[in-house]
Amino acid sequence: MLTMEDIVREGHPVLREVANEVPLPPSEEDQKTLENMLQFIKNSQDDQIAEEYNLRPGVGLAAPQINVSKRMLAVHFVDFDDKQYSYGLINPKIVSHSVEKTYLTSGEGCLSVDRDVPGYVPRYARITVKGTDLDGNEVKLRLRGFAAIVFQHEIDHLNGIMFYDHINKDNPFKEPENATPADE
């Protein structure tokens, strides 16, 4: 089982690498890694398990965060419209996105960042993501709002990008151009 000790923190070079494509169909090892990542995220949201193992709650995890430089991500969350998203995705790719942007008024955090980094993180308001799921099926997801934000945060990790790279350095709370908040 994965715990916080498996999570690499900022400063670790793997978080700045462009992760490698995963050969398809996935090896049993890659599949197992992704299943473990999804289980970690679920565990982190279970009060009892999280307390017992000292897990910080998270809505998603990208493989580089466990020092695996491969294009895999896991997400598990309920969006503001009560829709449940639970996926392990291999080689996820944003195939199209809106011009319009969005952001969370409370900013973002990261399991690999042990400090608060305040500021708006501009994200595309709508994205279409293609990838391969845990069963080896091709999936195409149309995402908006919080779901779109979470997937962009995770896909950024596969490209060596941290959420705070997107924050305006002079004015962290400057309203991003062409944006409406996702959580208002």
Q: Do β-strands 84-97 and 138-144 pair in parallel, antiparallel, or remain unpaired?
A: unpaired
- How far does Cα 118 stand from its chain's mean position? 18
Residue choice 75, 110, 147, 167 for contact with Ni ion (CB under 5 A): 110
Q: Kindly report the number of other CB atoms within 10 A of residue 138's CB atom.
A: 11
Min separation Cβ 117 and ligand SB7, Å: 11
The label of the residue with tokens 């999936």 reads 139
By CB under 6 A, residue 154 contacts ligand SB7 = yes
Of residues 58 and 171, the one with the C-beta less far from Ni ion:
58
Picking from 93, 70, 84, the residue whose alpha carbon sits closest to that of residue 151 is 93
Q: Among ligand SB7, Ni ion, none, what does residue 125 contact (CB within 5–8 Å per kind)?
A: none
Question: Among this protein's residues, is 177 annotated catalytic?
Answer: no
Is residue 153 part of an annotated ligand binding site? yes
Site size toward ligand SB7, by CB under 6 A:
16
Contacts of 25-34 with CB under 8 Å at 24 or more apart are 25/136, 26/90, 26/132, 26/136, 30/70, 30/72, 30/90, 31/134, 33/63, 33/66, 33/68, 33/70, 33/72, 34/63, 34/72, 34/74, 34/88, 34/90, 34/134
Is residue 76 part of an annotated ligand binding site? no
Min separation Cβ 125 and ligand SB7, Å: 14
Min separation Cβ 152 and Ni ion, Å: 11
By CB under 6 A, residue 37 contacts ligand SB7 = no
Is residue 97 part of an annotated ligand binding site? no
The residue ranges that bind ligand SB7 (CB under 6 A) are: 58-62, 65, 108-112, 149-150, 153-154, 157
Q: Which residues define the annotated binding site for Fe cation? A: 110, 153, 157
